[in-house]
A = this chain, B = another copy of it.
Amino acid sequence: MKTSIDCIPCFVRQTLDACRMVSDDPALHEKMMREVLGWISEMDLSASPPVLAQRIHRRLRELTGVTDPYRDAKAQQNQMAMQMLPDLQAEVAASDDPFSRAVHLAIAGNIIDLGAKSGLTDSDIHASLEQAASEELLGDLEAFRSAVSAAKNILYLADNAGEIVFDRLLIEQLPRERVTFAVRGVPILNDVTRVDAATVGIDTLVEVMDNGSDAPGTVLADCSEDFQKRFAEADLIISKGQGNFETLSDSPGNIFFLFKAKCPVVADQVGCPVGMQVLYCGRKK
């Protein structure tokens, strides 16, 4: 997906949020904002939005030496969601259609995204869970169910901390021996790395790998060779979140994108209102 002109105000806001997350120094904030504005004024809009976010966060790491500014936020999000896990597992188990319930909840968890929204409250999460219980998905759940049944090699692309606990609910409904769970290679925003997969116990359920990249999405050319090989070999890719959608929406592969459409640009791309729960089937090979 290309970058829209409507992404630009959001990049600027995200940059300021990120500056404040890594440093209290107003001089650094101003320096970084000026640099990023200069970059955006000349940026190639044919790149996907996470490519710029990657560049911004790399530069912030370089300027501050802080390698994982969202570590505490991620730990807190994981902890909050883990407290909900037993109830959510019981809810899935008691459902007439546990697979469907787990898909809805995995998408609901995508509300926990510090890239798309500066502040996130418990009530945002509860509202998202309410929505998961009552509203339809945009997409074909039965096609997804069939794809899961048929797949021999499933690559699950994770997104954010906290959300990863909701991913666990869906992984518990998948044929686990056929699933690989992929996380980011380097900390970026509140996206998950290996440590988060271990914190929420996903490493005890399925194989976990990292993609070798520090993009808040899946920029294939930037990922490790090993990851690229796994991506090419997978006969089903389950892609969580807007960042993975933005970077993979034009990629070949049997990809199902599970996310909440949190911004007008992405919502427009899939043809739905902002806030909708999406199960979008990407292009086949």
Q: Mark A residues whose CB is within 8 Å of B.
A: 5-6, 8-9, 12-13, 16, 26, 29-30, 33-35, 37-38, 40-42, 45
Contacts and interface: CB of A to CB of B under 8 A. Distances in A.
Contacts of A12: 8-9, 12
> Can you list the 6 inter-chain pairs with the closest CB atoms, starting with the nearest?
A37-B41, A38-B41, A9-B13, A9-B12, A34-B41, A12-B12
A26 B5 contact: yes
A151 to B, nearest CB: 40
Given A5-B16, A38-B38, 6 more contacts: A5-B30, A5-B33, A9-B9, A37-B37, A38-B41, A41-B41
A34 B8 CA distance: 10
Nearest to A32: B5
10 contacts: A5-B16, A5-B29, A5-B30, A6-B16, A8-B12, A9-B16, A30-B45, A37-B38, A37-B41, A41-B41
**What is the interface of chain A mostly: helix, strand, loop, or mixed?**
helix
A42 B31 CA distance: 10
A235 B142 CA distance: 75
B8 A33 contact: yes
Find the residue from A9, A26, A34, A42 having the highest chain B CB count within 10 A: A9
Contacts of A42: 34
Nearest to A20: B5
B8 A37 contact: yes
Find the residue from A8, A13, A16, A45 having the highest chain B CB count within 10 A: A8
A275 B34 CA distance: 29
Nearest to A38: B41
A173 B45 CA distance: 55
A148 to B, nearest CB: 40
A21 to B, nearest CB: 14
Nearest to A45: B30
Contacts of A9: 9, 12-13, 16
Contacts of A40: 37
Contacts of A29: 5
Nearest to A35: B41
